[in-house]
Amino acid sequence: MAGVWVIAEQRDGALRKISFEAASAAKKVADAMGTDVTAVVLGSGMEAACKDLGKYGAKKVLYADDAAYATYTTDAYSQALAELIKGGSPDVVLLGASMQGKDLAGRLAAKLDTSAAVDCTALKVEDGKLVATRPIYAGKVYADVLVTGSPQIATLRPNVFDMVESGGEAAVEKVSPALGALKTKVVEVQQLAGGKVDLTEATIIVSGGRGMKEAANFSILEELADKLGGTVGASRSAVDAGWRHHTDQVGQTGKVVTPNLYIACGISGAIQHLAGMGSSKVIVAINKDPDAPIHQKADFCVVGDLFEVVPALSEEVTKLG
Amino acid sequence: MNIVVCIKQVPDTETQIKIAGDGKSIATDDIKWVMNPYDEFGVEEALRIQKDKGGEVTVVGVGPKRVTESLRTALAMGADKAVLVEDDGIYGADPMAIAKILAAVVKPINPDLVFLGQRAVDDDAGLVGSALAEFLDMPNLSVVTKVELGEGTVKVLRPVEGQTLVIESSLPAIVTAQKGLNEPRYASLPGIMKAKKKPLETKTLADLGLTAAGKAEIKALTPPPSRAAGKTISGETPQELAANLARCLRDEAKVI
């Protein structure tokens, strides 16, 4: 069968945005290789939703329906996918570099005796092989990686690859890979308060550092983030001070992010932080110290008091509607 | 409870990374090497479980001789013994090769639990934990912030996008540690003294019948894409600054 496969990702029966980003990227790779895209969906009661992958380049969708696939487990997913991949022998397998995709990549690569390029930000085809570019050292260096095993597995960083509509409906073929004994079980899913978009998938991030002075002051960042439809992040100093939860930390020992807009408020710009947010498309620094390193990295520098500028910016955003 | 912690030695996160002359690796002079920060959470969790349940904590590392220092740090924190698979050229090898080497060392130890950091802050791959689990035929519980042991089972919290999953698994199992799991202890002076006498066994790849060859190679390293110089927003008052910034973001950058 060969070709380029994309492992789509669903939550509660709905395909996640990263699946369409990955399918669109897969289409470009497949075109360069002169082959087609097959998407794989594991889920429960969601056959109709699979067709949407056709719009973003999948010619065919392999859909496996089982209650065991409703919520992701490494166990069930890696078993099923390894069997499907062995049967279909794709040249390339792409996944999202989401929590799910990152977890799956290593296990799948080990099962298939290959390797994976993780959290890639660019893909190209050279001599018929996929060469993937990925930031390492949290973005201090970029590596071009060639997976020499087969299939070539790569996970794609969310919010980097554009969703491109290229086709119509995909033909959905039902498959039922065999499942062995499962050793793990998701016993509870706790929803995080607010239902905010995760930093790794956010298109706008408003982030605060030591200059925020105390936990309560983050409310002005929350307000701006709300108005912009963004998510609040934090520097390591703010997290270590106990002002924000560790899941909010951006940087080399936190999350590496690629939003369209990153607004750094009261963040001086330690090397670890700059690495974690340096590939954001547009960076704004709001810091009263004109010599703060963050200004070197920013597209737009505001030298001013964040406690005055941030609320004023919230008002301006409201005015713009 | 027999526990293994796999640790990697990485450049301190303060390090300015420079590309070496070969264009495929980093220049390793002037680097301060430290234990991968996420691995510290693994060591700490292993020691806490050992305090509660008894047993032995073994730390395992792969790399050149310098990795001994990070293993000694783990011993000084309280681990019982260490194994180093010593190889001078292995830094930067495919994580799948590393996972195979770790599997060969860990298997005979017959652990109930294996901890690793959720990723190493150098190659940022996060592949070794789940690959090791596959090679050892164990379940993997990745990026975990809480570990609770039952009778032959383990329950963990795994934060994912917008949710926290509560996952139950049989033992033995592989757990990769995320920030938030615990607050790693510092090695005490008596701990450091004691660590010097704790067993540290050195093996070679030849002993294990393995090589550093993997299934992926780095073709080239490049500096990050350079950014154009920034624009300083003008304005006399916070209101003017905010208004001018909002205009730039909407009309120039088109991001709001």
pLDDT digits over A272-311, tens only? 999 999 999 999 999 999 999 999 999 999 999 999 999 9
Q: Is the Cβ of A190 closer than 8 Å to some Cβ of chain B?
A: yes
Q: What angle do CA B63, B64, B65 make, to 5 degrees?
A: 125
Nearest by CB to residue A184, choosing from B159, B169, B243, is B169
Residue with tokens 């497949």, as numbered in its chain: A30
Q: Is the Cβ of B232 closer than 8 Å to some Cβ of chain A?
A: yes
Asked whether residue A195 carries a pLDDT value surpassing 80, the answer given is no
> What percent of chain B shows pLDDT beyond 70?
100
- The verdict on domain A4-174 having CATH code 3.40.50.720 is no
Strand partners, A159: none
CB contact under 8 A, A145 and B216: yes
Please answer whether residues A82 and A106 qualify as being in contact, where contact means their C-beta atoms are separated by less than 8 angstroms: no
Q: Is the Cβ of B135 closer than 8 Å to some Cβ of chain A?
A: yes
**More confident position, B83 or A168:** B83
- Nearest Cα to B8, choosing from B76, B111, B98? B98
* Same-domain status, B140 and B234: no
Token duo for residue B232: 């300083």
Dump the DSSP string for B78-92.
Answer: T--EEEEEE-TT-TT
How many CB atoms sit inside 10 A of residue B119's CB? 26
Residues of chain A with CATH 3.40.50.620: 4-174
DSSP B171: S
CB contact under 8 A, B163 and A190: yes
- Largest distance between two CA atoms of chain B: 70
How many CB atoms sit inside 10 A of residue B154's CB? 23
Helix (H, G, I), strand (E, B) or coil at A120: strand
Nearest by CB to residue A198, choosing from B134, B162, B173, is B162
Spatial CB neighbours of B141, under 8 Å, sequence gap ≥ 6: A184, B154, B156, B158, B167, B169, B173, B174, B175, B176
DSSP B126: -
Nearest CA in chain B to A16: B161
Block means of pLDDT (10 residues each) for chain B, length 256 residues?
97 94 94 98 98 97 98 98 97 97 98 98 97 98 98 96 96 97 96 97 98 97 91 96 97 95
Ramachandran angles phi, psi of B207, nearest 5°: -55, -35
CB contact under 8 A, A75 and B128: no
Q: Is residue B215 part of a domain?
A: no
How many CB atoms sit inside 10 A of residue A203's CB? 17
* Same-domain status, B45 and B88: yes
CATH number for A199-320 (one of 3.40.109.10, 3.20.20.150, 3.40.50.1220, 3.90.226.10): it is: 3.40.50.1220
Nearest CA in chain B to A108: B131
Show the domain range for B242. 229-256
For range A161-181, the mean pLDDT: 93
pLDDT of residue B160: 95
CB contact under 8 A, B216 and A148: yes
Q: What angle do CA A98, A57, B216 make, to 5 degrees?
A: 50
pLDDT of residue A238: 97
* Same-domain status, B62 and B114: yes
Chain A residues in contact with B170 by the CB 8 A cut-off are 183-184
Distance from the Cα of A212 to chain B's closest Cα (Å) equals 17
pLDDT class for A194, splitting at 50, 70, 90?
low
CB contact under 8 A, A117 and B143: no
Chain B residues in contact with A195 by the CB 8 A cut-off are 162
pLDDT of residue A196: 76
Chain A residues in contact with B11 by the CB 8 A cut-off are 137
CB contact under 8 A, B219 and A146: yes
* Same-domain status, B135 and B253: no
For range A96-118, the mean pLDDT: 98
Helix (H, G, I), strand (E, B) or coil at B225: coil
* Same-domain status, B30 and B90: yes
Ramachandran angles phi, psi of B250, nearest 5°: -85, -50
CB half-sphere exposure, B33, CA atoms < 13 A: 19
* Same-domain status, B103 and B199: yes
Element (H, E) at A27: helix A17-33
CB contact under 8 A, B166 and A190: yes
Q: Determine the Cα–Cα distance for residues B246 and B3; give it in Å rounded to an integer.
A: 54
Q: Is residue B214 part of a domain?
A: no
Nearest CA in chain A to B152: A183
Domain CATH for B39: 3.40.50.620
Please answer whether residues A161 and A27 qualify as being in contact, where contact means their C-beta atoms are separated by less than 8 angstroms: no
How high is the ipTM of this complex? 0.96
pLDDT class for A2, splitting at 50, 70, 90?
confident
* Same-domain status, B138 and B170: yes
The mean of the pLDDT values for chain A is 96
Chain B residues in contact with A303 by the CB 8 A cut-off are 232
Q: Is the Cβ of A44 closer than 8 Å to some Cβ of chain B?
A: no
Distance from the Cα of A19 to chain B's closest Cα (Å) equals 14
Nearest by CB to residue A144, choosing from B11, B220, B253, is B220
Q: Is residue B121 part of a domain?
A: yes
Residues of chain A with CATH 3.40.50.1220: 199-320
Would you tell me the crossing angle of helices A99-111 and B95-106 to the nearest 10 degrees? 70
Chain A residues in contact with B255 by the CB 8 A cut-off are 204, 260-261, 281-282
Distance from the Cα of A306 to chain B's closest Cα (Å) equals 9
Q: Is residue B62 part of a domain?
A: yes
Distance from the Cα of B131 to chain A's closest Cα (Å) equals 5
Token duo for residue B16: 């300015």
Dihedral sign, Cα of residue B201, residue B204, residue B210, residue B213: positive
Token duo for residue B166: 């509560």
Helices (H), chain B: 37-53, 67-77, 95-106, 128-135, 189-195, 205-208, 238-247
DSSP A250: B
Report how many Cβ contacts below 8 Å link chain A to chain B.
Answer: 274
How many CB atoms sit inside 10 A of residue A175's CB? 17
Distinct helix (H) and strand (E) counts, chain A: 9, 18
Interface of A with B in 259-288 (CB under 8 A): 260-261, 271-272, 278-279, 281-285
Asked whether residue A1 carries a pLDDT value surpassing 60, the answer given is no
* Same-domain status, B24 and B133: yes
Q: With left for phi above 0 and alpha for psi between -120 and 50, is residue A25 left, alpha or beta? A: alpha
Chain A residues in contact with B182 by the CB 8 A cut-off are none
Q: Determine the Cα–Cα distance for residues A236 and A247; give it in Å rounded to an integer.
A: 11
* Same-domain status, B201 and B233: no
Q: Which CA distances in Å does B10 have to A177, B38, B39, B40, B62?
A: 40, 11, 11, 12, 11
Q: Is residue B216 part of a domain?
A: no
Q: Is residue B95 part of a domain?
A: yes
Q: Which CA distances in Å does A124 have to A23, A57, A132, A161, B14?
A: 15, 17, 6, 13, 32
Q: Is the Cβ of A191 closer than 8 Å to some Cβ of chain B?
A: yes
Nearest by CB to residue A143, choosing from B166, B221, B249, is B221
CB contact under 8 A, B249 and A282: yes
Q: Determine the Cα–Cα distance for residues B214 and B98; give it in Å rounded to an integer.
A: 8
Residue with tokens 């941030």, as numbered in its chain: A310
To probe the interface with A, which of B40, B153, B241, B247 has the most A CB atoms within 10 Å? B241
Q: Is residue B219 part of a domain?
A: no
Q: Determine the Cα–Cα distance for residues B161 and A163; give it in Å rounded to an integer.
A: 20
CB contact under 8 A, B224 and A302: no
Q: Determine the Cα–Cα distance for residues B162 and A63; give it in Å rounded to an integer.
A: 25
CB contact under 8 A, A109 and B215: yes
Q: Determine the Cα–Cα distance for residues A212 and A207; give it in Å rounded to an integer.
A: 10
* Same-domain status, B127 and B244: no
Burial class (CB within 10 angstroms; exposed 0-12, middle 13-18, buried 19+) of A182: middle
